[in-house]
Amino acid sequence: MTLYDFTVKNNVGEVVSLADYKGKALLVVNTATKCGLTPQYEALEALYKKLKDKGFEILDFPCNQFMGQAPGSDEEITAFCTLNYGTTFPRFAKIDVNGKNADPLYVWLRQQAPEDKGDAESQAFEKKVKLLKPRAKAGDIKWNFGKFLIGKDGNVVARYSPAYRPEQLEADIEALL
């Protein structure tokens, strides 16, 4: 099984096969519009603009599971991201990434890469998150802006901490292109 075996709904409710992204390096991110990490949208868009012509895509999955930080409809979230951050990468319907209602894509992603990569800043962030989510299970997505790097073959290459800045991923992405 690879990422290409999944279908998801886009931000206007249409079913999309992730096989449409075959042959591209992908960054799958669960996002939120009212999170301390929301400014990462700016860095994500910069990375996208720089690398999209080389075969790179970002797949944005809004998630409201972390202190209700992604309120609003899919339409409102898209308007916010476009207006405030000028995002142009694909955005999908709001989903759950943990728990019994987790989207099957995220169940699979968590199984493929149960641990986040990060740096000292990421570790400090995750200590704070543990205080807010003390019942989190091993392998769960820790917060908004968790990132999965997917190779051109549809397999997970790495998982990065929410606090790991998008610009720090550039060399890893370039290696896949």
d(CA 103, CA 134): 22
Q: Does residue 63 carry a catalytic annotation?
A: no
Q: Are 126 and 89 in contact (CB under 8 A)?
A: no
Contacts of 87 (CB under 8 A, 6+ apart): 41, 44, 45, 48, 60, 81
* Edge-first strand listing for the sheet containing 156-160: 56-62, 25-31, 147-150, 156-160
Q: Which of 8, 25, 35, 47 is catalytic?
A: 35
* Residue whose pair of structure tokens reads 């999309």 in the numeric block: 16
* Active site (catalytic) residues: 35
